[in-house]
Structure 1
Amino acid sequence: MRQETLSEYTCEASERPPRVYGFGHAVVVELHGDIDLVAFSGSAPLLDAVAAGPEALVIVDLTQVDFLDCSGLSLLMRIRRRVTARGGHLRLVCTQPMMLRMLRVTRLTTLLKPAPTLSAALVDEPEPPENPEPPENKET
Protein backbone atom coordinates (compact mmCIF):
# COMPACT_ATOMS: atom_id res chain seq x y z
CA MET A 1 0.00 0.00 0.00
CA ARG A 2 1.53 3.31 -1.01
CA GLN A 3 0.92 7.00 -0.29
CA GLU A 4 -0.94 7.57 -3.56
CA THR A 5 -3.40 4.81 -2.71
CA LEU A 6 -3.98 6.23 0.76
CA SER A 7 -4.32 9.92 -0.16
CA GLU A 8 -8.00 9.98 0.76
CA TYR A 9 -7.08 9.00 4.33
CA THR A 10 -4.61 11.87 4.90
CA CYS A 11 -4.61 13.28 8.42
CA GLU A 12 -5.89 16.86 8.41
CA ALA A 13 -5.15 17.68 12.07
CA SER A 14 -1.36 17.79 11.66
CA GLU A 15 0.77 20.23 9.69
CA ARG A 16 2.76 17.20 8.53
CA PRO A 17 0.48 14.26 7.80
CA PRO A 18 1.77 10.70 8.15
CA ARG A 19 3.95 9.49 5.30
CA VAL A 20 3.47 5.96 3.95
CA TYR A 21 6.10 4.18 1.87
CA GLY A 22 7.58 0.77 1.18
CA PHE A 23 10.85 -0.34 2.78
CA GLY A 24 12.14 -3.80 1.97
CA HIS A 25 9.29 -6.25 2.48
CA ALA A 26 7.36 -3.86 4.77
CA VAL A 27 5.16 -0.81 4.63
CA VAL A 28 6.28 2.10 6.82
CA VAL A 29 4.06 4.75 8.37
CA GLU A 30 6.12 7.72 9.47
CA LEU A 31 4.28 9.78 12.08
CA HIS A 32 5.16 13.39 12.96
CA GLY A 33 4.56 15.86 15.78
CA ASP A 34 2.26 15.04 18.69
CA ILE A 35 0.39 11.75 18.83
CA ASP A 36 -2.48 12.63 21.14
CA LEU A 37 -6.29 12.54 21.03
CA VAL A 38 -6.44 14.99 18.11
CA ALA A 39 -3.88 13.00 16.13
CA PHE A 40 -5.70 9.76 17.02
CA SER A 41 -8.92 10.91 15.39
CA GLY A 42 -7.09 12.29 12.36
CA SER A 43 -4.64 9.42 11.83
CA ALA A 44 -6.84 6.42 12.66
CA PRO A 45 -8.45 6.12 9.18
CA LEU A 46 -5.05 6.14 7.45
CA LEU A 47 -3.53 3.67 9.90
CA ASP A 48 -6.59 1.42 9.66
CA ALA A 49 -6.19 1.35 5.86
CA VAL A 50 -2.50 0.46 6.20
CA ALA A 51 -3.33 -2.23 8.80
CA ALA A 52 -5.84 -3.77 6.38
CA GLY A 53 -3.29 -3.79 3.54
CA PRO A 54 -1.50 -6.81 2.09
CA GLU A 55 1.97 -6.26 3.59
CA ALA A 56 2.90 -8.82 6.25
CA LEU A 57 5.04 -6.32 8.17
CA VAL A 58 3.87 -2.85 9.16
CA ILE A 59 6.45 -0.52 10.70
CA VAL A 60 5.37 2.62 12.53
CA ASP A 61 8.25 5.11 12.62
CA LEU A 62 8.07 7.36 15.69
CA THR A 63 11.45 9.07 15.23
CA GLN A 64 9.75 12.33 14.16
CA VAL A 65 7.19 12.24 17.00
CA ASP A 66 7.62 14.88 19.70
CA PHE A 67 4.93 13.71 22.13
CA LEU A 68 3.02 10.48 22.72
CA ASP A 69 0.24 10.13 25.30
CA CYS A 70 -2.19 7.35 26.22
CA SER A 71 -4.26 8.12 23.11
CA GLY A 72 -1.14 7.50 21.04
CA LEU A 73 -0.53 4.19 22.82
CA SER A 74 -4.15 3.27 22.20
CA LEU A 75 -3.71 4.06 18.49
CA LEU A 76 -0.60 1.87 18.29
CA MET A 77 -2.38 -1.01 20.04
CA ARG A 78 -5.40 -0.61 17.76
CA ILE A 79 -3.17 -0.93 14.70
CA ARG A 80 -1.32 -3.90 16.22
CA ARG A 81 -4.62 -5.72 16.84
CA ARG A 82 -5.74 -5.13 13.27
CA VAL A 83 -2.42 -6.16 11.73
CA THR A 84 -2.10 -9.33 13.84
CA ALA A 85 -5.76 -10.26 13.23
CA ARG A 86 -4.90 -10.72 9.54
CA GLY A 87 -1.69 -12.61 10.36
CA GLY A 88 0.75 -9.70 10.00
CA HIS A 89 3.31 -8.17 12.34
CA LEU A 90 3.76 -4.64 13.70
CA ARG A 91 7.08 -3.11 14.67
CA LEU A 92 7.97 0.36 15.93
CA VAL A 93 11.00 2.51 15.27
CA CYS A 94 11.58 4.55 18.39
CA THR A 95 14.71 6.07 19.88
CA GLN A 96 13.36 8.71 22.24
CA PRO A 97 14.08 7.77 25.87
CA MET A 98 10.76 9.07 27.26
CA MET A 99 8.70 7.12 24.73
CA LEU A 100 10.74 3.98 25.32
CA ARG A 101 10.25 4.45 29.06
CA MET A 102 6.49 4.80 28.57
CA LEU A 103 6.47 1.56 26.56
CA ARG A 104 8.44 -0.22 29.30
CA VAL A 105 6.29 1.12 32.15
CA THR A 106 3.10 0.05 30.35
CA ARG A 107 4.72 -3.31 29.50
CA LEU A 108 4.12 -2.83 25.79
CA THR A 109 7.71 -3.38 24.63
CA THR A 110 7.11 -7.09 24.06
CA LEU A 111 3.98 -6.42 22.00
CA LEU A 112 5.12 -3.36 20.04
CA LYS A 113 8.79 -4.39 19.70
CA PRO A 114 10.52 -1.00 19.40
CA ALA A 115 13.68 -0.98 17.27
CA PRO A 116 16.30 1.78 16.95
CA THR A 117 16.29 1.89 13.12
CA LEU A 118 14.14 0.89 10.16
CA SER A 119 16.66 -1.79 9.22
CA ALA A 120 16.48 -3.27 12.73
CA ALA A 121 12.67 -3.26 12.56
CA LEU A 122 12.82 -5.37 9.39
CA VAL A 123 14.31 -8.26 11.34
CA ASP A 124 11.35 -10.55 11.84
CA GLU A 125 11.53 -12.30 15.18
CA PRO A 126 9.37 -15.40 15.66
CA GLU A 127 6.21 -14.64 17.58
CA PRO A 128 5.77 -16.45 20.88
CA PRO A 129 2.78 -18.82 20.90
CA GLU A 130 -0.45 -17.27 22.15
CA ASN A 131 -1.17 -20.13 24.57
CA PRO A 132 1.99 -22.08 25.18
CA GLU A 133 1.50 -25.57 26.49
CA PRO A 134 2.46 -25.93 30.15
CA PRO A 135 5.57 -28.01 30.82
CA GLU A 136 4.90 -31.60 31.76
CA ASN A 137 5.12 -32.45 35.44
CA LYS A 138 7.97 -34.85 35.85
CA GLU A 139 7.79 -36.66 39.12
CA THR A 140 11.10 -37.91 40.42
Structure 2
Amino acid sequence: MTEGLTSRPSGLHAPLPGPYGRVYRSGERTVVELHGEIDIAATTVIGAYLDVVSAIHAHEVVVDLTRVEFFDCSGLALLCRTRRRIAESDGRLWVVCERPAVLRVFRAGGVLALFGPVATLDEALRQ
Protein backbone atom coordinates (compact mmCIF):
# COMPACT_ATOMS: atom_id res chain seq x y z
CA MET A 1 0.00 0.00 0.00
CA THR A 2 2.85 2.40 0.70
CA GLU A 3 4.20 3.51 -2.65
CA GLY A 4 6.39 6.40 -1.56
CA LEU A 5 6.38 9.81 -3.17
CA THR A 6 5.58 9.55 -6.86
CA SER A 7 4.79 11.93 -9.65
CA ARG A 8 1.31 10.42 -9.99
CA PRO A 9 -1.03 12.35 -7.71
CA SER A 10 -3.37 9.41 -7.21
CA GLY A 11 -0.49 7.15 -6.16
CA LEU A 12 0.77 9.26 -3.28
CA HIS A 13 0.66 7.61 0.11
CA ALA A 14 3.78 7.45 2.23
CA PRO A 15 4.71 7.44 5.88
CA LEU A 16 7.11 10.12 6.99
CA PRO A 17 10.28 8.72 8.54
CA GLY A 18 10.23 8.27 12.28
CA PRO A 19 7.21 9.32 14.26
CA TYR A 20 6.48 12.39 12.14
CA GLY A 21 3.28 11.40 10.33
CA ARG A 22 2.21 10.48 6.82
CA VAL A 23 1.41 11.87 3.37
CA TYR A 24 -1.67 10.83 1.40
CA ARG A 25 -4.20 12.04 -1.16
CA SER A 26 -7.79 12.96 -0.38
CA GLY A 27 -9.60 13.80 -3.58
CA GLU A 28 -7.59 16.47 -5.36
CA ARG A 29 -5.65 17.47 -2.26
CA THR A 30 -2.42 16.18 -0.81
CA VAL A 31 -2.63 15.85 2.97
CA VAL A 32 0.53 16.03 5.07
CA GLU A 33 -0.47 14.78 8.50
CA LEU A 34 2.19 15.65 11.08
CA HIS A 35 2.57 13.99 14.48
CA GLY A 36 4.45 14.59 17.71
CA GLU A 37 7.08 17.27 18.18
CA ILE A 38 7.84 19.54 15.26
CA ASP A 39 11.14 21.13 16.23
CA ILE A 40 14.40 21.82 14.42
CA ALA A 41 15.36 18.13 14.36
CA ALA A 42 12.01 17.11 12.90
CA THR A 43 11.95 19.88 10.30
CA THR A 44 15.15 18.62 8.69
CA VAL A 45 13.34 15.36 7.91
CA ILE A 46 9.88 16.76 7.25
CA GLY A 47 11.27 19.56 5.08
CA ALA A 48 12.43 17.11 2.43
CA TYR A 49 8.94 15.62 2.19
CA LEU A 50 7.25 19.02 2.03
CA ASP A 51 9.68 20.07 -0.71
CA VAL A 52 8.67 17.03 -2.79
CA VAL A 53 4.98 17.55 -2.09
CA SER A 54 5.16 21.23 -3.02
CA ALA A 55 7.10 20.41 -6.20
CA ILE A 56 4.93 17.52 -7.40
CA HIS A 57 1.51 18.30 -5.95
CA ALA A 58 1.73 22.05 -5.62
CA HIS A 59 -1.86 23.01 -6.28
CA GLU A 60 -3.78 21.93 -3.19
CA VAL A 61 -1.96 20.89 -0.02
CA VAL A 62 -3.34 20.46 3.48
CA VAL A 63 -0.96 20.33 6.45
CA ASP A 64 -2.76 18.72 9.36
CA LEU A 65 -1.29 19.69 12.74
CA THR A 66 -4.07 18.06 14.78
CA ARG A 67 -1.71 15.45 16.26
CA VAL A 68 1.20 17.82 16.85
CA GLU A 69 2.09 18.11 20.52
CA PHE A 70 4.92 20.66 20.19
CA PHE A 71 5.57 23.21 17.46
CA ASP A 72 8.28 25.86 17.46
CA CYS A 73 9.56 28.60 15.17
CA SER A 74 11.50 26.12 13.02
CA GLY A 75 8.21 24.39 12.18
CA LEU A 76 6.66 27.76 11.40
CA ALA A 77 9.59 28.66 9.12
CA LEU A 78 9.14 25.36 7.31
CA LEU A 79 5.43 26.02 6.74
CA CYS A 80 6.20 29.54 5.52
CA ARG A 81 8.68 28.13 2.99
CA THR A 82 6.17 25.49 1.88
CA ARG A 83 3.40 28.08 1.53
CA ARG A 84 5.66 30.31 -0.58
CA ARG A 85 6.64 27.42 -2.88
CA ILE A 86 3.02 26.39 -3.35
CA ALA A 87 1.90 29.98 -3.99
CA GLU A 88 4.61 30.35 -6.66
CA SER A 89 2.81 27.56 -8.53
CA ASP A 90 -0.58 29.26 -8.05
CA GLY A 91 -1.52 26.63 -5.49
CA ARG A 92 -3.08 26.84 -2.06
CA LEU A 93 -2.07 25.60 1.36
CA TRP A 94 -4.51 24.90 4.19
CA VAL A 95 -3.41 24.38 7.77
CA VAL A 96 -5.51 22.35 10.20
CA CYS A 97 -4.93 23.32 13.81
CA GLU A 98 -6.94 24.22 16.86
CA ARG A 99 -4.32 23.57 19.56
CA PRO A 100 -3.80 26.88 21.43
CA ALA A 101 -0.06 26.33 22.02
CA VAL A 102 0.57 25.82 18.30
CA LEU A 103 -1.65 28.73 17.30
CA ARG A 104 0.37 30.93 19.69
CA VAL A 105 3.46 30.26 17.55
CA PHE A 106 1.56 31.40 14.43
CA ARG A 107 0.36 34.49 16.31
CA ALA A 108 3.85 35.31 17.66
CA GLY A 109 5.25 34.96 14.14
CA GLY A 110 2.64 37.40 12.85
CA VAL A 111 1.27 34.88 10.33
CA LEU A 112 -1.92 33.61 11.95
CA ALA A 113 -4.16 35.56 9.54
CA LEU A 114 -1.95 34.65 6.57
CA PHE A 115 -2.39 30.92 7.17
CA GLY A 116 -5.95 31.13 8.51
CA PRO A 117 -5.90 27.73 10.20
CA VAL A 118 -9.11 25.73 10.25
CA ALA A 119 -10.20 23.49 13.12
CA THR A 120 -10.74 20.17 11.32
CA LEU A 121 -9.47 18.23 8.33
CA ASP A 122 -13.02 17.96 7.00
CA GLU A 123 -13.27 21.75 7.00
CA ALA A 124 -10.03 22.07 5.04
CA LEU A 125 -11.13 19.47 2.51
CA ARG A 126 -14.52 21.20 1.98
CA GLN A 127 -13.05 24.63 1.17
- TM-score exceeds 0.5: yes
Are the aligned partners of 1:59 and 1:90 in contact in 2 as well (CA < 8 Å)? Answer: yes
2:94 to 91, 115, 129: 91
What SS does the corresponding residue of 1:52 show, helix, strand or coil? helix
1:32-89 deviation digits (Å, cap 9, x = unpaired)? 1111110111111111000112352100000111100110101111110111111101
Instruction: Find the aligned partners of 1:55 and 1:76 in 2 and give their Cα distance.
Output: 13
Give the AA of the match of 1:94.
C
TM-score (norm 2): 0.83
* 1:101 Cα deviation from its structure 2 partner: 2.2
Query: 2:112 matched to which residue of 1?
Result: 109
Give the AA of the match of 1:95.
E
**Count of residues paired in the alignment:** 120
Matched, 1:74 2:73: no
Q: Which entry has the higher C-alpha Rg, 1 or 2?
A: 1
Give the AA of the match of 1:40.
T
1:54 to 43, 54, 57: 57
- Determine which structure has the larger helix proportion and give its number: 2
Give 5+ residue unaligned stretches, structure 2. 7-13
CA-atom RMSD in angstroms: 2.2
Identity of aligned residues (%): 43
* 1:10 Cα deviation from its structure 2 partner: 6.3
Instruction: Find the aligned partners of 1:76 and 1:106 in 2 and give their Cα distance.
Output: 12
- Determine which structure has the larger strand proportion and give its number: 2
Instruction: Find the aligned partners of 2:49 and 2:76 in 1 and give their Cα distance.
Output: 16
* 1:103 Cα deviation from its structure 2 partner: 1.4
Instruction: Find the aligned partners of 2:69 and 2:57 in 1 and give their Cα distance.
Output: 29
Query: 1:41 matched to which residue of 2?
Result: 44
* 1:25 Cα deviation from its structure 2 partner: 2.2
